[in-house]
Amino acid sequence: MHPQRFYTLSASCPDRVGIVARVSGFIAEHQGWILESRYHADDGSDGSRYFMRIEVKADSLPFHLAEFRERFQPIANELQMDWKISDSAVKKRVVILVSKQEHCLYDLLSRWQSKELDIEIPCMISNHDTFKGFVEWHGIPFHLVPVNPDNKAAAYAEMQRLFDEVSGDTMVLARYMQIIPPEMCSAYPGQIINIHHSFLPSFVGAKPYHQAYQRGVKLIGATCHYVTSELDQGPIIEQDVIRIDHSDSVDDMVRYGKDIEKAVLARGLRYHLEDRVLVHGNKTVVFR
């Protein structure tokens, strides 16, 4: 990431001749200084689509973000573009959900404290009070929202209320061991990120390491993905694997997997926060 303030334009549209010229021409017309640009054309079954991500030095433009949006909108309409633009000076607000597994939580808070993840964490939500003292020691409000078969609707309504109350941008399931209901997925499309302790699409659902052990696999992994109403089937952001062999027990696999989970979640979250992930259907284009 560049040290100076910049705007990030990320967009996709039906592929055609002249897209880059149209967009870069608009930026150049206003003396905009492009710091980084990435492009990708995808020939899918539903037609060709073009993806782009452009970083523009903020003080090179004669106007702020609101006016950029207003001036760029006619071009976006012409190109039938899905697009957004963000300001690097505005920190994203990330709400973390956790249950009883601590490794991803500890890792994210360490990266947050060191400014490696330059974000705001306005609150944390859990269905257990295991980490209440630890979280509050970091100066982060902790909300206990128990979830059981009799109160699920009310519990998830409370979680949505808390997320909206703090103006959350992204919700991260840092080994939050509950299934997010379809209504909540629909309320925040592309805003809920999960770390699944398996190399999806293999071994969805509960106890994937046990499933992998029974299957005798030689590779285990972790997957960072967006949450949708289909369990562990959302668009994949990042993945990684580690090799194992016949001598490794389930406990060994769990121990190895924790290291992968932390790294994959941190990378996937960073890509998302930096607007490097563009979703198309159930696939993603990730400009690393």
What domains are defined for the chain?
6-87 (3.30.70.260), 94-286 (3.40.50.170)
Gyration radius of the chain over CA positions: 21
Q: Which of 232, 240, 252, 275 is catalytic?
A: 232
Whole-angstrom distance, CA of residue 173 vs CA of residue 127: 12
The pTM of the full predicted model, rounded to 2 decimals, is: 0.95
Contacts of 106 (CB under 8 A, 6+ apart): none
Paired tokens of 122: 């306005």
- Told to judge if 46 belongs to the known catalytic residues of this protein, a careful annotator would answer no
Our CA dihedral for 93, 232, 234, 130, rounded to 10 degrees, sits at 0
Q: What string of pLDDT tens digits covers the 288 residues of the chain? A: 667 899 999 999 999 999 999 999 999 999 999 999 999 998 876 679 999 999 999 999 999 999 999 999 999 999 999 999 999 999 999 999 999 999 999 999 999 999 999 999 999 999 999 999 999 999 999 999 999 999 999 999 999 999 999 999 999 999 999 999 999 999 999 999 999 988 888 888 888 888 888 999 999 999 999 999 998 899 999 999 999 999 999 999 999 999 999 999 999 999 999 999 999 999 999 999
Q: How high is the pLDDT of residue 45? A: 64
Q: Rounded to whole angstroms, what are the CA distances from 211 to 56, 203, 220?
A: 47, 6, 11
User: Distance between CA 287 and CA 12 in Å, rounded?
Assistant: 13
Read off the amino acid at residue 130. Answer: T
3-state secondary structure of 217: coil
What is the reported pLDDT for 77? 98
